[in-house]
Structure 1
Amino acid sequence: MKQLLLMVSLLSLGACSSISQQECQLGDWFAIGKTDAQQGIAASQFRSYQKECARHGHNSDFQAYQQGHAEGAIEFCQYDQGLLWGQQGKSYNSICSGALEAEFKLGYQRGRSWYSAKVALENLQQVFAQNTETIAELEQRIDANTDALSAAQSAQQKQQLSTENKSLRQQLGELQRSQGQLQRDLQQAELNFSLLQKQEGL
C-alpha cells in the first residue's frame, strides 16, 4: 500500500518531461504510460524515460508503458478533452488516432474556434483601447495649442502652433475614422465570441 501511495504521489507531482530515480526504481511502467496519455503526452516520451532510468541503473519496460498509454489514451481522446485542448490554444494532439480521433478532433476544432475568436476579440479590444487613449491625447494637445495660440505674441509662434494643430487634427481625423471601423469589428467579434460561448454552454 505504501509503495502504491508513493507511486501515485510521484506521478501527480512529477512533470512528465522527466522521471525520478524513485519512479525508475518502482518501475510501474503501466501506470506511468497511462498517466502520460491522460495528460496528452505522446508515447515517444518513453525514450527520454529510458535514458534517465538507464543513467540511474534501472531497466524500463516499453511494453507495459505502451499498454498503459493505450488505456490512458482512451480516457484522454474524448470530446470534452479535445474541447479543453483547443480552448487552451494548444497544437492538435497526435496521440488520438484511428477510432479514438473523431470525438477528440470534433471537440478540438470547436475549442480552437473558441480560442481564435477569443484572441481576435482581445486583440481588437486592445487596439480600440490604445486608439481611444491616443485620441484623447491628441485632443488635449490640440486644446493646449489652441490656448497657446490665443496667447501667442509673435507671428512665428502663431504659425508654428497653427501648423502643429493642422497636423494633429489630420492625425485625429484618421484615428477617429479608424476607430469607427474598429468599433464595428469589435461588435462583430463580441457577437461571434458570444455565439461560440452559448454553443458550448460556457
Structure 2
Amino acid sequence: MNPAKSLLLLLTALLAGCAVISEEACQAGLWYERGLQDGARGRGQSLVYDIARQCREYGVRVDTEAWLRGHEEGVAYFCTPENGYRQGRLGNSYEGVCTGPGADLFLAEYHRGLADYQVEMEYLQLARRYDDLRRQLIAVNAALASAGEEEQIRALQLHRSALRRELDLLDLQLRGFGFVGFSRFY
C-alpha cells in the first residue's frame, strides 16, 4: 500500500474515532434510548447539540425531545449517592448533570470517592518509585561488588547513599498510608 493511501486511512480512522455518533446510530434513530444511555453515563444535555450537528451531516434529523426525555430518566439512574462514590472512586469527571434534592448527596459521595481515588493514585506513584529505587540500589550494589578503581567505588557509594536516603523518605511516606513492609532492606 502506498504511503499516501496509508495516511488517508489512518486519518479517516482517527476522525471516525472523534465522531460523537456514527452514521448507523443516526439512521437507527432510537433517540429516547440514546438519551437514556447518555444520561445514565452522566453526560450533559449539551451533548444533544453535538449529536444533532453530526447527524445533520448524515442527512438525519434528531428527535431532541425524545432524547431529552430519555436523558432525564437516565440522569435519575446516574445521580445516586452510590454511583457518585463509584464515579469518584474511578476518577471519572463529573459534568454537573445532577439537580434537585439528590444532587447534594451525589456530590458528597462523588467527592469522597474522588478523594479515595487520589489517595490511591498517590500511593501507587510512591510505591512505583520505591520499587524503581530498590532495583537501582540492587544494581549499584552489584556494580560495587565488581568495582576495582577507588574513584568508581566512591562514586557508587555516594550513589548508594543517595538512593538509601530517598528510599528512607519514601518508606516514611508509604507508612503514612498505613502500610507496613517498606522497611529498609539494604
TM-score range (shorter-chain normalised) is: 0.7 to 0.9
Q: What is the number of residues matched between the two proteins?
A: 163
| One of 125, 128, 140 as aligned partner of 2:127 | 125
Per-residue deviation, 1:29: 2.3
Cα RMSD of the aligned pairs, angstroms, is: 2.2
Identity %: 23
Residue aligning to 2:184:
none
Residue aligning to 1:185:
173
Q: Residues 23 and 141 (structure 1 numbering): CA distance in 2 closer, same or farther, change over 3 Å?
A: closer
More helix by share: 1
TM-score (norm 1): 0.72
- Work out the CA distance in 2 between the residues paired with 1:168 and 1:23: 63
Residue aligning to 1:92:
94
Give unmatched runs, 5+ long, in structure 2.
Answer: 1-16, 180-186
Per-residue deviation, 1:51: 2.1
- Work out the CA distance in 2 between the residues paired with 1:21 and 1:131: 51
Q: Residues 132 and 21 (structure 1 numbering): CA distance in 2 closer, same or farther, change over 3 Å?
A: closer
Contact 1:80 1:107 in 2 (8 A): yes
Give unmatched runs, 5+ long, in structure 1.
Answer: 1-14, 149-160, 192-202
Residue aligning to 2:49:
47
Per-residue deviation, 1:56: 3.2
Q: Which is higher, the Rg of structure 1 or of structure 2? A: 1
Q: Residues 133 and 23 (structure 1 numbering): CA distance in 2 closer, same or farther, change over 3 Å?
A: closer
Residue aligning to 2:60:
58
TM-score (norm 2): 0.77
Q: Residues 100 and 62 (structure 1 numbering): CA distance in 2 closer, same or farther, change over 3 Å?
A: farther
- Work out the CA distance in 1 between the residues paired with 2:27 and 2:93: 33
Per-residue deviation, 1:38: 0.5
